[in-house]
């Protein structure tokens, strides 16, 4: 180690803790180099070098240091890395593990951590009260517009990475009998006992090492089952590691607790490693665990006290100071003050003293701290002030001194005394970490003795033990752990053998936990100047909570949202109970009556990558392709997604743009032969003696008289009378039909048929089978299509006279079986050729080869859309949006009067029978060259009125028609069917409305007879 | 994520199932005989039960059969599943005898008053 580094690591003890002093690690923070050891976190290594100020708060940009030592820390957020793809922001320095070459940076400050101009917010804090945003929204028109850029710039955490994430993420699915969350003494005991029964056990530990508070406390004369605690821990871990039914996961936090004991575990696999050592591992894993029994040993979280000036760097939870000391071998200060309302925090004074720190004072808000502690303090020569509070603190980037004074219920009574210090250990008591218990649906109960919420009634198969259950004593935690581990395994059907070794004595080194709550401490300053922080990340003070109550947001869920208490990335881990305590004081109501805000997943921030898992890129939404897909790719098709399918949209030739290709394809379909890959259409084979009457109930039109060999177009409506699918169904035999659906609606329609058959009409004998994938379909159309068809078919007469429109035939093409439907979606003579899917590509190549003399041209879905729009055929989902009846679409002819069908009754409801509903019409613009943008709004007059012009409809489809050599459009217009020939206008953004005339929907009607 | 017992296949993960809303609402035999309000009640109105609720599920990624379930909407606990056509194995509030086809004119004030007891 260089001399400079040695000087910097001034606060590192030469022994103790879990760090490996033989493995120094170099890292940088804010551009400066430091050294730590293997086993350090960024926080412990920086503290070892005397660095406290590492961040700025969210709103007021106040200096922030390390309040905690783990996931609970609210303020010490940093950015790790600088690569635009792999950098991660808002990482808790208390959890970031050191590796060689780690680069970390402060965030939310400009131009630098020390000199941050955002601090102007702090100076203006009186003008940025709680609810500032809401009040600005409610202000005079325009005030939000004025303030927003300022707010957006000033507020915020780290910046988002700007390049795609190259890392890999995984989901893991697991079942187990017993899932133990947390590996403190209670969790270890439970996992060991459950594992001894032979049950499958998963033990999840959030940090890098198992042991929980065992690692953060001095061992003293404590014993677990007759052993020194850390030796006991080593034995248990060795036993668990040797058991093949145990999965021990470190760096793994339970992020969410869902129904029926389904728990997600977020595992960090490589963030703690230098990139060169990450190897083949994914960055994060999300374990999705279904556990028969869950044991929550999630411990407790210490909370700070709420007093003026409680947020300076150097103010630290008393337990965190002990963790840095005992787990990392770091003395967080050399001249410390301890400020608490409970006996537990006094341990920090004695431990720091034993580590060579000077203890300037112990300040206890209670008049009656434990006598044993007082004697020990006297023996150590530590000054003690009881019934006293800190009324102010000093020091800009780091605490320098505090002012302490006596107080009673009426406020500060004594004259403040100033005490110098470089570390202030605070403790407002412990809050059991009930987040997961609450997520599981369990209820919480306020325990007056503990001054905290504890688990009450469980709703799932879950038990909370140890500090999570409010059992702070070691003996209780271990015995409850043992008992719960056995019970959980037994409930899941596993019983341990009776030969377990008899356990030795378990005893605490510490005094029993005693606390007297002090939620909001007084100061001698004027009320308006007191800034006692409750939420250190979102900068919420006790004063803000008072304001929320005054302004009517006294309910705990309202106060939370109004002030943003607990809404930062820390989700209020240290905040919650303090905020409730302050509210209880303001409202003068018992805490139990105020209740807690709802705990929701995730327990801690997890990466989007872990949530997505492997479902990214090509695996995000796998696409289906047709049998002809390879040909489309080879021939330069541009694709679009339709439902799950990739469909060829247009086939541009070299040098041709999209529109030119589209026009060429459509001209060929009208003048020669076009061919479309129609394989994606949904196809359902329907059989049974009642198939016909079933169809008659499903479709809006009549099916009882359709003869075998014939086809019919049908519309389906919901019970609300609104069109939801359409298609042609062919009668193959009296009890056998071939139904086609829209591409995107295939699965939905099959489900719909099955639902009605099973739940409403189980008496009908009918069988439905999806055959979408079994048939490949090429649809040829155009004036020369009959010639090509005649050339193609072995044994089907292709003549349109003898093989008429809306009929079908079965036969062969070069010996390959084919089913041919004479149905048309373009208005041209068409043959929809179905062959077994394995012949799809062969069929397509054959068509292209044999069709050459007839000018065969493939057209894509865009051409199909244009051709059908010329003919005025609807596309469900383009013209319709779930609010249109068959009548609205001008298809009243498809509604039978003879019998009931799904949705029929709705068509005569007063609302659906209105004649001023949106109705489908054609539009011809006055300027034949102007193609209206789809979605354009339609207005009645050419002058837009101020401030609002009534909209009378909108454009659903719009093209330049190559056949008519002019623009055409389909539109929905209020009462449109009764407005033929009327002139309307199409509104445009930033330009004058365009006049157009309402027409019928079949633009080819005047040209020629459709076949 | 629930585990649901399909009456035909056994217990499976929720991801295999689709939800079908309130159960035991029979499609009227003669829709034309209903008033607009009665028909609208069938099409649009559902109870919003807190507590035991009979609802429909379909094992869409399994046997594709529809079935009914009793679930406590407050605790998400599945109490029972049973095949279509069977009566619920426990009394459920939404099926209080004599109230199976409530007159919509009466139903509205009850729901406005908080529902739950229907």
String of DSSP letters for B21-52: EES--PPPS-GGGS-HHHHHHHHH-----SSE
* Contact between chains at A762 and B85 (C-beta distance less than 8 A): yes
Taking CA–CA distances from A719, the nearest residue in chain B reads B43
Q: Within this chain, do residues A657 and A781 fall inside the same structural domain, yes or no?
A: yes
Task: Compare A574 and A663 and report the one with higher pLDDT.
Answer: A663
Task: Give me the pLDDT at residue A116, please.
Answer: 78
For residue A853, being part of any structural domain is answered with: yes
For residue A761, being part of any structural domain is answered with: yes
Chain A within 8 Å of B75 (Cβ-Cβ)?
Answer: yes
Residue B111 pLDDT > 50, yes or no? no
Mutate to test the interface with B, among A459, A895, A905, A912 (most CBs of B within 10 A): A905
Percent residues over pLDDT 70 in chain A:
95
Q: Within this chain, do residues A281 and A193 fall inside the same structural domain, yes or no?
A: yes
Residue A3 pLDDT > 70, yes or no? no
Q: Within this chain, do residues A293 and A200 fall inside the same structural domain, yes or no?
A: yes
Alpha-helix residue ranges (DSSP H) falling in A279-370: 318-328, 346-354
Q: Which range has the worst mean pLDDT, A402-416, A432-446, B102-116?
A: B102-116
Q: Within this chain, do residues A177 and A52 fall inside the same structural domain, yes or no?
A: no
- Tell me the mean pLDDT in the region A495-501: 69
Q: Where are the beta strands (DSSP E) in A4-144?
A: 20-29, 32-38, 55-56, 63-64, 77-80, 88-92, 102-106
Q: Which range has the worst mean pLDDT, A20-24, A34-38, A112-116, A784-788?
A: A112-116
Q: What are phi and psi of A437, to 5 degrees?
A: -60, -40
* Contact between chains at A905 and B39 (C-beta distance less than 8 A): yes
Q: Within this chain, do residues A788 and A930 fall inside the same structural domain, yes or no?
A: no
For residue A451, being part of any structural domain is answered with: yes
Chain A within 8 Å of B45 (Cβ-Cβ)?
Answer: no
Chain A within 8 Å of B2 (Cβ-Cβ)?
Answer: yes
pLDDT in tens, A543-555: 999 999 999 998 9
The CATH number of the domain holding residue A565 is 1.10.10.1100
**Residue A441 to chain B, least CA–CA distance (Å):** 7
Question: How does residue A122 score in pLDDT terms, banded at 50, 70 and 90?
Answer: confident
Task: Compare A991 and A733 and report the one with higher pLDDT.
Answer: A733
For residue A865, being part of any structural domain is answered with: yes
**Residue A760 to chain B, least CA–CA distance (Å):** 7
Residue A151 pLDDT > 70, yes or no? no
Residue B109 pLDDT > 60, yes or no? no
For residue B33, being part of any structural domain is answered with: yes
Q: Within this chain, do residues A280 and A187 fall inside the same structural domain, yes or no?
A: yes
* Side-chain-side CA neighbours of residue A150 (13 Å): 12
Chain B within 8 Å of A615 (Cβ-Cβ)?
Answer: no
Task: Give me the pLDDT at residue A584, please.
Answer: 93
Nearest to B64 among A719, A754, A905 (CB): A754
- Tell me the mean pLDDT in the region A932-955: 88
Q: Within this chain, do residues A346 and A284 fall inside the same structural domain, yes or no?
A: no
Cα separation, A751 vs B66, in Å, equals 10
Q: Tell me which chain B residues have a C-beta less than 8 angstroms from the C-beta of A698.
A: none
Task: Compare A126 and A624 and report the one with higher pLDDT.
Answer: A624
pLDDT in tens, B69-106: 999 999 899 999 999 999 999 999 888 754 444 444 44
Taken in order B21, B27, B31, B34, the sign of the CA dihedral is: negative
**Residue B13 to chain A, least CA–CA distance (Å):** 10
* Contact between chains at B66 and A754 (C-beta distance less than 8 A): yes
Chain A within 8 Å of B46 (Cβ-Cβ)?
Answer: no
**Residue B72 to chain A, least CA–CA distance (Å):** 12
Number of domains in chain A: 7
Chain A within 8 Å of B56 (Cβ-Cβ)?
Answer: yes
For residue B20, being part of any structural domain is answered with: yes
Q: Within this chain, do residues A173 and A276 fall inside the same structural domain, yes or no?
A: yes
For residue B117, being part of any structural domain is answered with: no
Number of domains in chain B: 1
Q: Report whether A332 contacts A325 (CB < 8 A).
A: yes
Distance, C-alpha B4 to centroid of its chain: 16
Distance, C-alpha A20 to centroid of its chain: 38
- Tell me the mean pLDDT in the region A416-445: 96
Task: Give me the pLDDT at residue B99, please.
Answer: 46
Residue corresponding to tokens 């015995």: A479
The dihedral over CA atoms of A960, A964, A970, A971, expressed in degrees to the nearest 10, equals 90
Q: Within this chain, do residues A671 and A800 fall inside the same structural domain, yes or no?
A: yes
For residue B118, being part of any structural domain is answered with: no
Range of the domain at A552: 524-588
For residue A518, being part of any structural domain is answered with: no
For residue A157, being part of any structural domain is answered with: no
* Contact between chains at B3 and A909 (C-beta distance less than 8 A): no
Residue B116 pLDDT > 70, yes or no? no
Q: Report whether A166 contacts A211 (CB < 8 A).
A: no
The CATH number of the domain holding residue B81 is 3.30.2270.10
Q: What are phi and psi of A322, to 5 degrees?
A: -70, -40
For residue B91, being part of any structural domain is answered with: yes
* Contact between chains at A755 and B1 (C-beta distance less than 8 A): no
Q: Which range has the worst mean pLDDT, A88-92, A144-148, A170-174, A212-216?
A: A144-148
Question: How does residue A59 score in pLDDT terms, banded at 50, 70 and 90?
Answer: confident
Q: Tell me which chain A residues have a C-beta less than 8 angstroms from the C-beta of B30.
A: 900
The CATH number of the domain holding residue A849 is 3.30.1360.120
* Contact between chains at A719 and B43 (C-beta distance less than 8 A): yes
Residue corresponding to tokens 């509030």: B93
Interface of A with B in 441-460 (CB under 8 A): 441, 459
Range of the domain at B39: 3-112
Question: How does residue A943 score in pLDDT terms, banded at 50, 70 and 90?
Answer: confident
- Tell me the mean pLDDT in the region A266-290: 95
Taking CA–CA distances from A440, the nearest residue in chain B reads B75
* Residue A98 DSSP code: P
**Residue A900 to chain B, least CA–CA distance (Å):** 8
Q: Within this chain, do residues A55 and A13 fall inside the same structural domain, yes or no?
A: yes
Cα separation, A366 vs A342, in Å, equals 8
Whether the ipTM is more than 0.90: the answer is no
């Amino acid at each position: 180690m260089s001399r400079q580094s040695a000087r910097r690591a001034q606060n590192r003890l030469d022994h103790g803790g879990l760090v490996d002093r033989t493995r120094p690690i170099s890292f940088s923070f804010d551009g400066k180099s430091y050294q730590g050891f293997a086993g350090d976190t960024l926080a412990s290594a920086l503290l070892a070098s005397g660095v406290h100020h590492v961040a700025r708060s969210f709103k007021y940009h106040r200096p922030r240091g390390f309040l905690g030592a783990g996931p609970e820390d609210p303020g010490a957020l940093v950015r790790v890395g600088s690569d635009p793809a792999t950098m991660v922001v808002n990482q808790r320095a208390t959890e970031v593990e050191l590796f060689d070459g780690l680069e970390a940076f402060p965030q939310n400050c400009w131009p630098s951590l020390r000199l941050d101009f955002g601090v102007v917010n702090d100076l203006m804090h009186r003008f940025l009260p709680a609810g500032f945003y809401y009040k600005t929204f409610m202000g005079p028109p325009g005030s939000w517009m004025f303030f927003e850029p300022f707010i957006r710039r000033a507020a915020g955490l780290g910046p988002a990475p700007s390049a795609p994430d190259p890392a890999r993420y995984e989901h893991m699915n697991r079942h187990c009998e017993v899932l133990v969350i947390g590996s403190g003494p209670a969790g270890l005991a439970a996992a060991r006992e459950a594992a001894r029964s032979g049950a499958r056990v998963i033990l999840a530990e959030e940090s890098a090492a198992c042991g929980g508070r065992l690692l953060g406390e001095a061992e003293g004369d404590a014993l677990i089952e007759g052993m020194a605690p850390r030796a006991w821990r080593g034995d248990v871990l060795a036993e668990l590691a040797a058991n093949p039914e145990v999965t021990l996961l470190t760096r793994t936090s339970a992020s969410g607790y869902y129904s029926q004991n389904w728990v997600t575990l977020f595992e960090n696999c490589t963030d703690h490693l230098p990139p060169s050592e990450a190897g083949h591992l994914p960055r994060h894993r999300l374990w999705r665990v279904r556990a028969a029994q869950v044991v929550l040993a999630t411990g407790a979280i210490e909370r700070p006290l709420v007093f003026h000036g409680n947020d300076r760097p150097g103010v630290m939870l008393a337990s965190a100071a002990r963790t840095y000391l005992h787990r990392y071998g770091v003395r967080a200060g050399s001249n410390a003050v301890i400020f608490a309302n409970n006996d537990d925090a006094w341990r920090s004074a004695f431990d720091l003293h034993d580590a060579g720190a000077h203890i300037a004072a112990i300040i206890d808000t209670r008049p009656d701290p434990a006598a044993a502690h007082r004697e020990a303090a006297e023996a150590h020569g530590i000054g003690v002030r009881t019934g006293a509070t800190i009324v102010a603190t000093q020091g800009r980037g780091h605490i320098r001194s505090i002012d302490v004074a006596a107080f009673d219920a009426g406020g500060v009574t004594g004259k403040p005394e100033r005490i110098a210090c470089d570390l202030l250990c605070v403790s407002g008591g412990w809050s059991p970490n009930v987040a997961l218990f609450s997520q599981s649906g369990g209820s919480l109960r306020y325990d007056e003795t503990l001054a905290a919420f504890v688990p009450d009634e469980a709703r799932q198969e879950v038990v909370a033990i140890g500090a999570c259950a409010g059992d702070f004593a070691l003996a209780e935690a271990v015995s409850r752990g043992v008992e719960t581990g056995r019970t959980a395994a037994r409930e899941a059907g596993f019983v341990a053998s009776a030969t377990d070794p008899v356990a030795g004595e378990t005893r605490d080194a510490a005094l029993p936990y005693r606390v007297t709550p002090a939620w909001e401490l007084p100061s001698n300053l004027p009320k308006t100047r007191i800034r006692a922080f409750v939420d250190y990340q979102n900068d919420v003070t006790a004063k803000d909570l008072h304001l929320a109550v005054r302004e009517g947001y006294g309910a705990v869920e309202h106060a939370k949202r109004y002030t943003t208490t607990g809404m930062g990335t820390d989700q209020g881990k240290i905040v919650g109970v303090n905020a409730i305590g302050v509210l209880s004081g303001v409202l003068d109501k018992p805490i139990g009556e105020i209740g807690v805000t709802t705990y929701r997943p995730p327990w801690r921030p997890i990466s989007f990558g872990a949530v997505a898992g492997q479902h990214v890129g090509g695996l995000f939404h796998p696409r289906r392709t047709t049998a002809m897909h390879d040909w489309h790719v080879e021939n330069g098709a541009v694709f679009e997604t339709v439902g799950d399918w990739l469909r060829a949209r247009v086939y541009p030739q070299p040098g041709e743009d999209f529109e030119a290709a589209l026009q060429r394809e459509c001209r060929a379909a009208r003048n020669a032969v076009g061919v479309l890959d129609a394989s994606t259409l949904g196809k359902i084979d329907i059989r049974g003696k009642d198939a016909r009457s079933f169809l008659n109930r499903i479709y809006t039109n009549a099916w009882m008289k359709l003869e075998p060999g014939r086809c019919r177009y049908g519309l389906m409506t919901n019970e609300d009378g609104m069109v939801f699918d359409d298609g042609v169904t062919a009668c193959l035999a009296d009890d056998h039909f071939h139904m086609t659906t829209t591409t995107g609606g295939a699965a939905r329609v099959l489900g719909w048929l099955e639902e009605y058959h099973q739940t409403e009409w189980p008496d009908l004998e009918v069988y439905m089978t999806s055959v979408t994938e079994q048939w490949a379909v090429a649809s040829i159309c155009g004036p020369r299509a009959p010639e090509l068809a005649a050339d193609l078919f072995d044994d089907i007469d292709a003549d349109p006279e003898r093989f008429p429109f809306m009929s079908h035939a079965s036969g062969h093409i070069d010996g390959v079986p084919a089913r041919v439907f004479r149905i048309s979606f373009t208005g041209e003579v068409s043959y929809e050729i179905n062959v077994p899917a394995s012949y799809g590509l062969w069929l397509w190549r054959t068509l292209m080869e044999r069709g050459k003399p007839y000018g065969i041209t493939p057209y894509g879905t865009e051409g199909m859309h244009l051709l059908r729009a010329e003919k005025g055929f609807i596309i469900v989902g383009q013209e319709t949006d779930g609010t249109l009846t068959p009548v609205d679409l001008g298809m009243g002819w498809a509604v039978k009067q003879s019998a009931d069908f799904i949705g029929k009754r709705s068509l005569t409801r007063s609302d659906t029978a209105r004649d001023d509903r949106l109705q489908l019409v054609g539009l011809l613009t006055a300027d034949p060259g102007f193609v209206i943008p789809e979605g354009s709004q339609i207005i009645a007059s050419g002058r837009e009125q101020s401030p609002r012009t009534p909209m009378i409809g909108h454009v659903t489809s719009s093209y330049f028609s190559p056949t008519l050599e002019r623009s055409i459009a389909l539109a929905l217009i209020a009462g449109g069917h009764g407005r033929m020939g009327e002139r309307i206008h199409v509104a445009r953004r930033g330009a004058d409305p365009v006049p157009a005339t309402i027409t019928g929907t079949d633009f080819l009607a005047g040209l020629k007879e459709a076949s | 994520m629930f585990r649901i017992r399909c009456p035909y296949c056994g217990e499976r993960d929720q991801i295999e199932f689709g939800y079908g809303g309130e159960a035991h609402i029979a499609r009227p035999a003669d829709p034309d005989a209903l008033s607009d309000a009665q028909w609208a009640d069938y099409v649009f109105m559902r109870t919003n039960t807190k507590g035991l609720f009979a609802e429909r599920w379909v094992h869409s990624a399994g046997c594709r059969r529809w079935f009914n379930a009793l679930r406590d909407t407050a605790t998400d606990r599945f109490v029972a599943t049973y095949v279509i056509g069977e009566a619920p194995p426990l009394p459920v509030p939404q099926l209080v005898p004599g109230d199976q086809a409530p007159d919509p004119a009466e139903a509205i004030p009850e729901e406005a008053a908080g529902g739950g007891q229907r």
